[in-house]
Amino acid sequence: MRHGLGAIVGVGELTPQRSTEGATTLGMIAEVARRAVMDAGLEPGAVDGLLVGPHVGETPQHVPATVAEYLGLKPSMANVVDLGGASGAGMVWRAAAAISAGMCETVLCVLANTREAVPPRSPNRNPIREFDVPFGASGANATYAMIKQAHMATYGSADADFALIAAAARANAQHNPEAIFFGKPATVEDVLASPMIASPLRLFEIVMPVAGGSAVVVTSMERARDMQRPAVAVLGAGEKVTHRALSQVPSLTSGPLKPAMARAMAQAGVMADQFDLLSLYDCYTIMVATTLEDLGVCAPGQFGAWVRAHGLGHDGDAPLNTHGGQLGFGQPDLAGGMTHVVEAVRQLRGSAEGRQISNAELALVTGNGATMSEASALVLGAWT
């Protein structure tokens, strides 16, 4: 058995929905938390740690206390993890660290969101408002389009290279009945024919926002051994935050996941070519491209050739986002990043029905927040 930082012993997930009129964030948090705790075979009273996201519509502040009260928990450690799409992966290592520090023994990590027809907007005062928004660099589509454009200009990558990633995500989604695009495959040609949203990003290269939720339960290695439940070891973790506004980005072609992944792999004692599953955050095709290059499985600018040379399905030689990724499964706000953790756990447990990787032992999970700004990486291992 590899030495681990902790173990994931329970997961829960809500089916993505286009809208949740009348639902509450707290209600969705409660349901997905219930599923994760039940999957772990625990009673709610066994949870003594809580990590939540910052967006709970029913309260603008004191979020952990509000959620704990609603769930009937009295945690010894509670906190908000606000790393955008990196929040899911970031929660897992924080939970393991809190357990290792003796603050608690079993942590609930939970993210969920409602989706209304007209989402609320709130004022924001930061460098983005001064240096980016006045010049049109506002919103994820525009900023990630700029990163894709920079990659194409620097390395000569082509639209068809990026379309391969989107098509692979849709193909994997056909093996996951819970995916929003289940029954809706898309070829490379379909991706290239989809409407241009923010040049050079096309519609099928961009995640579809949905409602949903995901949760995992983390406990100590010692308790996981005693529980006699399917567990997955947290072998390594890394994190890096470099900027918020695109105008402040250190590089348009390489992001903070590069050091985050390197740290996680060094901690776990593994190399990039040893993973049985790459569960990579994929808000846009360009995010997957830069992650593959920053991971070192291919040289900068060569992701297209790498994708063409490998099979990315569960039965291929380089499984990538076997649940469909967010491009195929859907992006339930911050929980979108947690879906990558849940899929890795299922694969390493051997419970990914209909899409199981043969003899999966090691998985890399990545999370990404803002515009390639906040990064978390996890190395997860099968329990042996």
For residues 216 and 339, the answer to whether their CB atoms sit within 8 Å is: no
How sure is the predictor about 122, in pLDDT bands with cuts at 50, 70 and 90?
very low
pLDDT of 101 higher than 90: no
Residue 60 binned pLDDT confidence (cut-offs 50, 70, 90): confident
**Radius of gyration of the chain from Cα atoms?**
19
Q: How many CB atoms lie within 10 A of CB 138?
A: 14
Give 183's strand partners. none
Give the rounded percent of residues in the chain with a pLDDT score beyond 70. 96
Whether the pLDDT of residue 126 is over 50: the answer is: no
The whole-chain average pLDDT of the chain stands at 92
- pLDDT of residue 215 exceeding 50, the answer is yes
The contacts of residue 236 (CB under 8 Å, 6+ apart) are 5, 263, 264, 265, 266, 267, 268, 269, 270, 378, 379
Q: Please report which confidence band the pLDDT of residue 106 belongs to, taking 50, 70 and 90 as the band edges.
A: very high
Burial class from Cβ neighbours inside 10 Å (0-12, 13-18, 19+) for residue 302 reads middle
pTM listed for this prediction: 0.86
Q: Once rounded to an integer, what is the mean pLDDT over residues 270-278? A: 98
Among 112-121, 133-142, 269-278, the least confident range? 112-121
**Residues near 375 by beta carbon (within 8 Å), at least 6 away in sequence:** 86, 238, 239, 240, 241, 255, 256, 257, 260, 366, 367, 368, 369
Lowest mean pLDDT among 158-167, 241-250, 273-282, 290-299: 241-250
Q: Residue range 128-143: average pLDDT?
A: 79
Which is it for the CA torsion 272, 274, 275, 276, positive or negative?
positive
Mean pLDDT lowest among 17-26, 51-60, 245-254, 304-313: 51-60
Please check the confidence at residue 359 and state whether its pLDDT lies above 90.
yes
The structure tokens listed for 9 are 């012993």
Residue 78 structure tokens: 């509670």
Model confidence pLDDT, tens digit, residues 176-201: 999 999 999 999 999 999 999 999 99
Least confident of 73-77, 80-84, 158-162, 322-326: 73-77
237, 267 Cβ separation under 8 angstroms: yes
Rounded Cα–Cα distance for residues 224 and 157 (Å): 46
pLDDT attached to residue 368: 94
pLDDT at 41 exceeding the cut of 80: yes
pLDDT at site 129: 66
Where in the chain are the domains? 6-117+207-382
pLDDT-based confidence at residue 1 (cuts at 50, 70, 90): low
Q: What is the pLDDT of residue 125?
A: 41
Q: What percent of the chain has pLDDT over 90?
A: 75
pLDDT at residue 118 greater than cutoff 70: no
72-81, 148-157, 292-301: least confidently modelled range: 72-81
CATH 3.30.70.360 describes domain 6-117+207-382:
no
Averaged pLDDT, 103-108: 92
The pLDDT value given to residue 127:
59
Q: Comparing 289 with 246, which gets the higher pLDDT?
A: 289
Q: Yes or no: say if 207 and 196 are a contact pair by the CB < 8 Å rule.
A: no
Q: Measuring CA to CA, which residue among 68, 51, 69 is closest to residue 108?
A: 51
Checking if the pLDDT of 383 tops 50, the result is yes
State the pLDDT at residue 117.
Answer: 55
